[in-house]
Structure formats: structure tokens, C-alpha cells
Amino acid sequence: MPLARDVAEEVAKQYGVCIRPVPLKRLDTHTGHWEIVDVPCGATLEAKCAPCAKRNRQLRMAQCREGWHLEAEPAITPDEPNEEQRWLVEFRADVQAQRDQADQAGQDAADLDELISGLDEEINAAGMRGNVLGRTVPKRNRSTRRRQDAPDLPKRKMAATTLGRTFTSSDGKIYRPSLFVTLTLPSYGKVKNGTPVDPDSYDYARAARDALHFSKLVDRFVQNLRRVAGYDVQYFAAVEPQKRLAPHLHMAIRGTLPRAEIKQIAAATYHQVWWPPADRVIFDGDRLPEWEDGTGYFDPVTGEVLPTWDRALDQLDTDEAAEPLHVLRFGVQVDVQGMLAGTPDADQCIRYLSKYLTKSISDSLDPDDQAQRDHAARMAEALRFEPCSPTCPNWLRYGVQPKGAKPGMTPGRCRGKAHKPDHLGYAGRRVLVSRKWSNKTLAEHKQDRRTWVLEALGQTDQPTDPHRYIWKPVPASDANVAPLAIRLLRSVAERQRWRAHMVRLQAEAGEQDLSATEGRAA
Ligand SMILES: [Zn+2]
Ligand SMILES: [Zn+2]
């Protein structure tokens, strides 16, 4: 006999129901009752189960298709926050409070951090821009010398449009061509089947820094692209691992430019990382900086206090001879394809763009390929002591206090995603969609997400007081959490009810449409 749980999982998959729901405790402040509700894993965590991943991929494909060959300017007006958005922000605030509490109590907050970063992505995916915390510190004013220079590229006058040019054929048909561009990073040494021919001479250090800052290079490319194109170019891009484990980028671009210009832009684009030097190891092994309350990190031998992050940056600003920590450029391999809406080629690109969405960088590793596994291990090692962000504990190794320094920081023990073998340096988003790509699909996207959440809450569509609920995580061992099989079947039943409800609503809407038409006719 099959296990009940396996059967329930199969049924859940057929209904597109999350098979790894996250139980959460919810306090209803109106009634004072606590209850446990399941939230789809896709709505809280980065790791998504198959049904959540599939749904996510479908939404992304629809979003990509919708924006690529848009014929009219998308109307971008911030909507009133909806229930789901409010819910996410409330939940985010609650988790933040718990995280801070755990941190103060000296407990491990890694799980909560993970949940928070997942929620932040979710909040953005739900159609809200920015971070719920906003900008907490004033932006640094860098000296002009440190600004990224604009590369030497042709510049067109900016037109206030996001749409590309159209072409009319002799028979009057209008064509709306677009581009599919692939950008890669440079070579770090000769590779064969994705692994270095000579691991000793392969430039892992450079590969690590390139991967860490890759998203910044992409930002620069878009800025330059817009400057050259002379309109507000929109894109839908996916960051994917190459076989050699370096991130590369596939980008659907609305509108078209000459192939040679795209190549010229890619060649001229670079990004300078203005961080303090991190090439000379100052503290290592047993000799590490120590913490003192009110002072920060200091050298236990000399007693000297390490420069804070801000001071290290100030030093960089005033040092005429300072060099950027790292400069990134794309590799020479740039692929540019012209596309037309609705063609099989365009469809294939859309599938391609969403192909890796559900996978982590390391998923493309072949478990039987020892050479590749060794390559991945060397890459992870190169990333171990590389500072991943201003707050990375690795800064202590190079004699700088990380931004927001606190006790207990140890170089080589950063919990940042970038150091994890799953990410291999790239901790950014896998899908990059410009703000004016489309609006309709985003609304659909929101609607769908909203439906998930409401389903999870056991509600259909009645408005709720945004301050009504307080959420808390539940340990998996909690005796009040029903066995997974039962929870899955409950979700299936919920989905069935919801579907029936939708059918009923549609039927009613249809009748109303009909009577409205009849009314007009009369
Ligand atoms: Zn799921
Ligand atoms: Zn780090």
C-alpha cells in the first residue's frame, strides 16, 4: 500500500498545491484566538517546492511574454497596497522584531535572517518597490573622483518612451523587432567541459570577485544601453550559471539596436568596486581582532582600534593614489539575436529565460563529475574569505571593522548567501525585470499571490483589517501542527472550494454582463 503521505503529496501536486507548506501561528487580535495556518513555501522561503516553483515559472513566462513586444506605453501608477502586500509587510515586521530579540538574547538568528530575505524578495515580487525598512542611513557623498566614469560611447537624445522603433513593410505590415542578448564574464583560464585545464593557474580570485559584483555590472550595462539607445529601454533578464560556474546573463530587450552597438556597449561597460583593500591578510588563524563594547574591534597585540567601515571609506576618498578593489568587465563573448513577437524563436527564448528559475547555481553540477565538483569546491574556497558586502565579517581579516560591527564576528564564517556553495558568489536575484516592462502581468502576478495567501488564511476575498493578525513561526515539532498528509489534503479541499467559488463568480459576472448589454440595447 502506498504511504498516505505520498498519496496526499501526489494529489496536492495535481492540484498545484504547495507540498512543503510552512506552518505559522496566527493571533487574531479581534477574537484573541491563536491558530495554526499553512502558508505556501513559495510565499515565504526561497527554496520552493515543485508546485510553487512551477507556478512561479509560469507567472514569470507570462510576464516576460507580455512585456517584450508591448505596443503601448505601460501605465505605471502605484496602486493602493492590497491585502497581500499589507500582510507581507506586517509579517515582515513581526519576523524582524523576533530576529532582533533573538540577536539581543545572543541566539542564532540565521533562520530568521533567511526568512526575512525571502520575505523581502516576496514583498518586491508583490509589486512593492524598495525595502520595508527604507533607507536607514543617509547616502554617502563620494568625492567626484570616485564616481564611475561614463565610458566613451555614442549618446542619443533621450526620448520619453519605453517602446522600441517599429518598421513598416511595403505591404503596410508593422514590425516591432526586439533583442535577445547573452552576456558572459571574461575567461579565468582555459576550461574543458566546464572545468579548468590547469586549476593552479585558473584565476579563482578574479572569478570570485566577478561573481560577487556581477549584478552591479549588469546595472552599468543597462545604464549605458539606455544612454546609447536614447529611450528608456526595458528588459527581462535571467542570471544563470555557465558550466564553468560563472554567472551569465540572458536578456530580453524591448526594442532594437544595431548588433554592433550592443557589442560596443558590452565592451565599454565596466564597474569599479570602491571598497577598502582586501588583498593583504592582516589577521588570520589565532590572531584575530577582539571586541570591546563601546570601542569595537581592536588588535589584541597593539591595542589599536580597527578603522570602522565609514572611516575606511573616508580614507579611500582622500587617498589620491587609491585604486578600486576590483574592476569588472564582460567577456568578449556577446551574443545578440533579433526577435519578432510571437515567433517560435521568441517563444523559445522565453522558455530559456525561465529555464533555470527554479534551480540554484549548484544544481547544474553533475554529481558524477568529480572534476567539476573539485572545481566548485575551489570556487567556494576562493569565496570563503572574500568580503561579500560591507557588513561581511571577512573585513576583520583585512583590518577593517565591518559596517554595523557587533560582537562574535569571525572571518570565514559569514552567513551571507554569496559564500554558500549553492550560490557560488552570486547572491543577487535570478530574474531581473525593469520597472516598466509590463503592468498587466504584475497585477496578475499579485492577484495570484494574493489568492495563495488568502487561501492559506482560509478566506476568500473579504477585506481584512491589516492590523488584525500577529504572526509567529511554529517549530516543526509543535504537537498542534497536523501531519503533513492531512494538511495537504486540507489545502486541496480548500483549492476545490476556491475553484468552485471562482466558477460561480464567473457565472454571475457573465449574467451581469449579459443584462448590462440587454439594458443598453433596450
Ligand atoms: Zn511550495
Ligand atoms: Zn560575507
Query: What does the H/E/C string look like for 390-434?
Result: CCCHHHHHHCCCCCCCCCCCCCCCCCCHHHCCCCCCCCCCCEEEC
Q: How confident is the model at residue 3 (pLDDT cuts 50, 70, 90)?
A: confident
Torsion from C-alpha of 135, 137, 143, 149, nearest 10 degrees: -20
Ligand 1 mean position, distance from CA 51 (Å): 6
CA distance 27 to 18: 23
Ligand 1 mean position, distance from CA 478 (Å): 20
Quote the pLDDT of residue 470.
Answer: 75
Quote the pLDDT of residue 100.
Answer: 73
Question: In this predicted model, which residue has the larger pLDDT, 521 or 14?
Answer: 14
Question: In this predicted model, which residue has the larger pLDDT, 280 or 517?
Answer: 280
Ligand 2 mean position, distance from CA 29 (Å): 39
358 and 53 Cβ atoms separated by less than 8 Å: yes
pLDDT, averaged across the chain = 82
Ligand 2 mean position, distance from CA 117 (Å): 15
Ligand 1 mean position, distance from CA 55 (Å): 9
- Ligand at shortest distance from the CA of 409: 2
Q: Give the residue-averaged pLDDT of 119-126.
A: 63
- Ligand at shortest distance from the CA of 20: 1
CA distance 155 to 278: 36
Query: Could you tell me what percent of the chain has a pLDDT over 70?
Result: 75
CA distance 183 to 508: 50
CA distance 21 to 488: 8
Q: Dump pLDDT digits (tens) for 469-517.
A: 777 777 767 788 888 888 888 888 888 887 777 677 667 766 655 554 4
- Ligand at shortest distance from the CA of 403: 2
- Ligand at shortest distance from the CA of 402: 2
Q: Is 284 helix (H, G, I), strand (E, B) or coil?
A: strand
Ligand 2 mean position, distance from CA 119 (Å): 20
Ligand 2 mean position, distance from CA 184 (Å): 24
Q: Is the pLDDT of residue 112 over 80?
A: no
Ligand 1 mean position, distance from CA 282 (Å): 45
**Beta strands 296-298; 178-183: pairing state:** unpaired
Quote the pLDDT of residue 429.
Answer: 82
197 and 191 Cβ atoms separated by less than 8 Å: yes
255 and 159 Cβ atoms separated by less than 8 Å: no
Burial class (CB in 10 A: 0-12, 13-18, 19+), 288: middle
CA distances from 7 to 67, 259, 341, 486 (A): 39, 53, 42, 11
**Beta strands 195-196; 191-192: pairing state:** antiparallel
CA distances from 456 to 72, 287, 472 (A): 36, 51, 15
Angle at 176 between CA 437 and CA 259, to 5 degrees: 85
Ligand 2 mean position, distance from CA 213 (Å): 12
Cell readout for 296 is: 569595537
Q: Please, what is the angle between helix 370-384 and helix 204-212, to 10°?
A: 70
In three-state form (DSSP H/G/I as H, E/B as E, the rest C), the secondary structure along 144-193 is: HHHCCCCCCCCCCCCECCCCCCCEECCCCCEECCEEEEEECCCCCCCEEC
- Ligand at shortest distance from the CA of 423: 2
Nearest to 70 by CA among 185, 178, 214, 202: 178
Ligand 1 mean position, distance from CA 32 (Å): 29
Nearest to 251 by CA among 360, 353, 355: 353
Quote the pLDDT of residue 136.
Answer: 43
Q: Any idea which of 119-133, 297-311, 316-330, 394-408 has the lowest mean pLDDT?
A: 119-133
Quote the pLDDT of residue 137.
Answer: 46
Nearest to 110 by CA among 372, 414, 474: 414
- Ligand at shortest distance from the CA of 394: 2
- Ligand at shortest distance from the CA of 383: 2
Q: Any idea which of 84-93, 191-200, 360-369, 472-481 has the lowest mean pLDDT?
A: 84-93
Ligand 1 mean position, distance from CA 45 (Å): 9
Question: In this predicted model, which residue has the larger pLDDT, 395 or 64?
Answer: 395
Ligand 1 mean position, distance from CA 79 (Å): 27
Q: Dump pLDDT digits (tens) for 228-242.
A: 999 999 999 999 888
- Ligand at shortest distance from the CA of 13: 1
Q: Please, what is the angle between helix 214-229 and helix 259-268, to 10°?
A: 130
Quote the pLDDT of residue 144.
Answer: 42
Torsion from C-alpha of 351, 354, 356, 357, nearest 10 degrees: -160
Question: In this predicted model, which residue has the larger pLDDT, 368 or 87?
Answer: 368
DSSP state of 305: B
Q: Give the residue-averaged pLDDT of 178-205.
A: 96
Cell readout for 27 is: 493571533
Quote the pLDDT of residue 28.
Answer: 82
209 and 326 Cβ atoms separated by less than 8 Å: yes
Q: Any idea which of 34-48, 122-136, 424-438 has the lowest mean pLDDT?
A: 122-136
413 and 1 Cβ atoms separated by less than 8 Å: no
Quote the pLDDT of residue 129.
Answer: 52
Ligand 2 mean position, distance from CA 417 (Å): 8
Ligand 2 mean position, distance from CA 66 (Å): 37
Ligand 1 mean position, distance from CA 413 (Å): 30
H or E, element range at 297: strand 296-298
Question: In this predicted model, which residue has the larger pLDDT, 130 or 344?
Answer: 344
Ligand 2 mean position, distance from CA 473 (Å): 26
Please state the pTM of the whole predicted model: 0.76
